[in-house]
Structure 1
């Protein structure tokens, strides 16, 4: 009797669980059927891989409906028209944006609405005449679209890295490092000389600074001299030139006024030239006689020698 009682309890529990699950399914189906839906058609200009009928439709991450139908645009097969149904109580407005979001790591996609200002008019969608919403490109789609280019760039980068790490480049790099080490050792070996050279540079810089200070002082003194004494000298020269100009003007005027008298005077001086020559000869003769008189007064006065006239 006891094993049969256990089997009866297990069977009864199974039936109750099945009935509860069936009732829950019927209630869920009834609530879904009684729910009011608004329909919208979303136009995607990019591939919608991972999206399928029955996938959830979200609004800011909250499920508000699902995908009803998917078809290619008859006028432009590059566009996909997706019909979705949304709980009628959720306001879809004119500036509400739509796009695709990644549902899980398997690549499944969901439709998601976002945005929408309260001051914009609401879109009322029916199954036979749904309003159209143009979808925005998703970041995930852009990443997939650029994936091939990224792979190509990565391959080029790896190729260049391989060329950079070739044996020839490695040997050249090792030679450069070795040369650098040798140069460093040479500098270290002559660090005392380098220190002395730097000290000389420092002393030269100090002397150059002192020379610059002296030159600056000389320039200041010269500037001060030019602005004070030099200015006075220039003013004096200016006054002298004015006086000289006035004097020359007067001399020129006197020359013009006395041109005749000067010409007569110069002519008279020309006539005096023979008389001056005679006077000069007489003076020489007198000078000679005076010397002879000093040397021999008696012979000169009473002698027979006559005074000879010196040639002119």
Structure 2
């Protein structure tokens, strides 16, 4: 029995198998199961990105971790450039990670260098309103050199302007006049050289005499100092003496006060008694002079005068 072969089915099977083989080869060539996964990040540059192309390498401390996926101007500010990076998943992109544009050697091919990222910093996350996490940037070496050169050129321009102002016609004329005056002074000094030498010699002698006088004045000043010290000691002694005298006067005043309060009244009473005694003695002497016998025989009664009697003296008192 003859078998019939369906060539159409065989041909279709071969085509399908070939397509599967080609797809498998392409899949394996593109990485297949080992294909890497990437995360997208945004970086905003404020400088020119000339020399940076799509698929330019993105390096982290010199290690390739991704590529530049997109380069475009910022629609809100054309002075800035938005760069989108495709970075391998698992790369430690932290909040303090920064991106810097660099060039490779003399070829001028630009790439992006990531740096920073301390161990304790948190991972970089997308903020509200931004589809991608934003990596901070800092100026590249070329930008910093350009800024420095621009500043230096501005200062050089200002310096040259100042120099031109200094070297104006008026200043040059004044400078020439000053040089002429200096030359005239120099000629005058040269013509009077001998007088200047003599003046210098006299000045040296004067300084020498002054030094001698100052040396001789030293002992005089010492003696004056000793005299001043002696005067000061004498003043201190006088001060202490005046203090002692003041104390003595105060003590004498207290004694005089006590004398006035205690002794004077007693003295007054004694003087009063002496006055009474002197009066009595005077009377006694007067009586003795009138009647010396009375001193021996005592006083005799005085006889009554005419018309006087004992009745005439009712009190019975004797008259003196």
* TM-score normalised by the chain length of structure 1: 0.53
Does residue 238 (structure 1) correspond to residue 243 (structure 2)? The answer is yes
Does residue 67 (structure 1) correspond to residue 72 (structure 2)? The answer is no
Q: CA deviation at 1:103?
A: 4.7
Does residue 137 (structure 1) correspond to residue 143 (structure 2)? The answer is no
Q: In structure 1, how many angstroms separate the alpha carbons of the residues matched to 2:210 and 2:239?
A: 41
The 5-angstrom pairing of residues 186-265 of structure 1 reads 186=189, 189=193, 190-205=196-211, 207-208=213-214, 211=217, 214-215=220-221, 218-226=224-232, 228-243=233-248
Q: In structure 1, how many angstroms separate the alpha carbons of the residues matched to 2:180 and 2:107?
A: 54
Q: Over aligned residues, Cα RMSD in angstroms? A: 4.4
Contact 1:68–1:83 under 8 Å retained in 2: yes
The 5-angstrom pairing of residues 86-235 of structure 1 reads 86-88=87-89, 90-103=91-104, 109-120=110-121, 130-145=132-147, 148=150, 150-183=152-185, 186=189, 189=193, 190-205=196-211, 207-208=213-214, 211=217, 214-215=220-221, 218-226=224-232, 228-235=233-240
Aligned length: 224
Look up the match of 1:38: 38
* TM-score normalised by the chain length of structure 2: 0.52
* Structure 2 residues not aligned, in runs of 5+: 1-28, 265-320
Q: Secondary structure at the match of 2:99?
A: strand
1:259-305 CA distances to partner (integer Å, 9 max, x unpaired)?
A: xxxxxxxxxxxxxxxxxxxxxxxxxxxxxxxxxxxxxxxxxxxxxxx
User: Which has the higher Rg, Structure 1 or Structure 2?
Assistant: 2
Q: In structure 2, how many angstroms separate the alpha carbons of the residues matched to 1:179 and 1:105?
A: 60
Q: Secondary structure at the match of 1:97?
A: strand
Contact 1:92–1:116 under 8 Å retained in 2: yes
Between 110-119 and 50-59, the greater mean CA deviation after superposition: 50-59
Higher helix share: 1
